[in-house]
A and B are shown apart, each in its own frame.
Chain A
Amino acid sequence: GQQLNQSPQSMFIQEGEDVSMNCTSSSIFNTWLWYKQDPGEGPVLLIALYKAGELTSNGRLTAQFGITRKDSFLNISASIPSDVGIYFCAGLNNFNKFYFGSGTKLNVKP
């Protein structure tokens, strides 16, 4: 099925650095969700966005619902080692179907 274009695929950063990742699509979405997945675990919801232009924070995490409704980004500020994991975006379209990005693997060097 359709997948969202998520980038970058992987990142290697130093502890303390800020991180940015994004998801784009050629289609409009009504909801954007961001998840973090640790190895062998299920994805955990980080942030949910329901309106175009919405900017929401969860601690050091900030996500925005793009004004065109075709994209979203997630920023992590002042990264720490426990931020390591795979981050997924998900979008809900007009047909109430969810699509997932391919994930961004984040590595943080202490």
Chain B
Amino acid sequence: SAVISQKPSRDICQRGTSLTIQCQVDSQVTMMFWYRQQPGQSLTLIATANQGSEATYESGFVIDKFPISRPNLTFSTLTVSNMSPEDSSIYLCSVDTGNTIYFGEGSWLTVV
């Protein structure tokens, strides 16, 4: 298993600002991902955070809006840039330990 810590756990953000979410894993993992979960919805993959190279983004998500860093095998950040109310969601860090995905506690962002 993997223990994943995310911060902040929740925040209220002003429209037009940016916020960086941090994700720390208790062990080295190759595969780290960032998901978004809008209210009442299932999980949508934003991108795969690649260590030492640029993240791989899913269709509909771009680096300018969601820049991701992955400096080592235990840490990643996701920035939500130039936020609008439509970005109000839970953002989840996750890791794949081979054939199982574990999630962080989530970062619940509300944009006002």
Q: Is the CB of A42 within 8 A of B42?
A: no
Asked whether A1 is an interface residue with its Cβ less than 8 Å from the other chain, the reply is yes
Q: Is the CB of B42 within 8 A of A33?
A: no
Q: Is the CB of A44 within 8 A of B99?
A: no
Nearest chain A residue, comparing its CB with the CB of B105: A42
Asked whether B103 is an interface residue with its Cβ less than 8 Å from the other chain, the reply is yes
Q: Is the CB of B101 within 8 A of A90?
A: yes
Q: Is the CB of B58 within 8 A of A98?
A: no
Asked whether B100 is an interface residue with its Cβ less than 8 Å from the other chain, the reply is yes
Distance between Cα atoms of A101 and B41 in the complex (Å): 10
Interface on chain A toward B: helix, strand, loop, or mixed SS? Answer: strand
Residues of B within 8 Å of A, CB-based: how many?
22
Distance between Cα atoms of A25 and B27 in the complex (Å): 33
Distance between Cα atoms of A90 and B42 in the complex (Å): 11
Size band of the A side of the interface? Answer: 20 to 34
- For A50, give its contact among B1, B99, B101, B105 (CB under 8 Å): B99
Asked whether A65 is an interface residue with its Cβ less than 8 Å from the other chain, the reply is no
5 closest cross-chain pairs (CB), A and B: A42-B106, A42-B103, A42-B105, A31-B99, A102-B42
Q: Which residues of B contact A (CB under 8 A)?
A: 1, 4, 6, 10, 41-43, 45, 58-59, 90, 92, 96, 99-106, 108
Given A31-B99, A31-B100: 13 more A-B contacts, CB < 8 Å: A1-B58, A1-B59, A33-B101, A41-B105, A42-B6, A42-B92, A42-B104, A88-B43, A98-B45, A98-B101, A100-B42, A101-B42, A103-B42
